[in-house]
Amino acid sequence: MNIVHSAQPAVSLSEKGLHVVLADGRQAYFNYYWLRDNCPSSFDPATRERVFDIFHLERPPRAETAALDGDALVVGWQGENHVTRMPVTTLALYADGHRRPDPADLPRRAWHGDHYRDVARFSQPDLIADRSKVAAWIEALIVEGVAVVTDMPDSDQGLTETAQLIGQVRPTFFGAYFDVRTHIKPTNLAYTAKALELHTDTPAEEAAPGVQFLHCRANSVEGGGSLFADGVAVANDFRAADPHGFHLLSSIDIPFYCEHDSYDMRSRQRVIELDDKGEVSGLTISQHMADIFDLRQEVLDDYYPAFCRFGKMLQDPRYVMNFRLQPGECITFDNHRIVHGRAAYSATSGDRHLRGCYTDRAEMRSTYRALVGEGRFKT
Ligand SMILES: [Fe+2]
């Protein structure tokens, strides 16, 4: 081993960790537990999992020797016959306690009611044949929250194979798939011909499903136009226009429910969801599934007017895309961000059938990362 010692030591040991001068001149500190646990030898190259168990160390890890050697920091450990060669690139990445870069952390682009002609569209056979198209599709779902898949096979299987390009079909308490058409004994407003106000799906679930697929199999009725709006666009404007109302809607949980003969689902959600940077990441809203608000009535003196101001804003035509889904199209969208609804239709004027299912947002991002890179194990 060729350890370079300079007059000014680049590495100095202290009680709980060591200081090292990085290639860019930064003085950085690393804790001994962190250095020992994340030794490259801790990870199995085949499974990519950590195979070192730090809980089994007999005493706290402590460096006996440490020095820079080319592109690595070499650490010899006290009381252990083990040497760590930690790449300096890894040290540089973790030196400041910043989160690991995530290729799926793409900035959201808010859109308005005139967005329909610009909605990203992907042909289903192209998606099946070309994984780079799947990456572009997911990118649209992360950035804009909505995309249309065209040329869908007219089959149940067509929806399944499309959803599985992104992730596993994620059941809700209604089951793995749902068919939106008029039902004789409806358990849900969706299964009638009535208008359906803008909403996100299944807010009564503790973790509502992330990505929704609606495959149009038939649409020959009069009426029944689709309505879609970007919750991020509306909530951002609401934040600027009504900061106090925004604060209430993004900090107070309200109850949602879904109840019928054999189920009684309940949850509490915030109407406006913020991400860890404090930016609007989406909405949870549904007039037909909002439970009776069980907040203190004095709180409602402020909450209700804000809730209504926001609800009115959501319906403003400048935010709402209004279009007709065509048979063979499948609209895909972020169920925590995009609100959707439909105009009433005449059930006797023809057929209207949308078959739907969901996948997870986290799994969608996982698929995207795998398509655009190889994470820490990229070679
Ligand atoms: Fe819905």
Domain residue spans of the chain: 11-97, 113-371
Give pTM, 2 decimals. 0.91
By CB atoms closer than 10 A (0-12, 13-18, 19+), residue 244 is: exposed
| pLDDT for residue 378 is more than 80 | no
The tens digit of pLDDT for each residue in 117-147 reads 999 999 999 999 999 999 999 999 999 999 9
Residue 193 CA, ligand 1 centroid: distance in Å: 13
pLDDT of 8: 54
What value does the mean pLDDT of the chain take? 93
Mean local confidence (pLDDT), 325-352: 92
Listing DSSP states for 157-169 in one string gives HHHHHHHTTTS--
Output the CA 232–ligand 1 centroid distance in Å: 18
Residue 276: strand pairing partners: none
Q: What is the pLDDT of residue 310?
A: 98
| CATH class, range 113-371 | alpha beta
| CA 215 – CA 179 distance, rounded (Å) | 9
pLDDT single digits (tens) 276-290: 999 999 999 999 999
Cα–ligand 1 centroid distance for 91 (angstroms): 47
pLDDT of 2? 46
Distance 102 CA to ligand 1 centre (A): 30
Please give the CATH number for the structural domain made up of 11-97: 3.30.2020.30
Which pLDDT does position 349 carry in this prediction?
Answer: 82
- Predicted confidence band of residue 330 (pLDDT cuts 50, 70, 90): very high
Rounded distance between C-alpha atoms, residue 340 and residue 200, angstroms: 7
194-232: pLDDT as tens digits: 888 999 999 999 999 999 999 999 998 888 899 999 999
SS3 at position 335: coil
Single-letter code of the amino acid located at 89: T
C-alpha 192/C-alpha 173 separation (Å) is: 20
Would you say residue 6 has pLDDT above 70? no
197, 290 Cβ separation under 8 angstroms: no
Which pLDDT belongs to residue 185?
Answer: 67
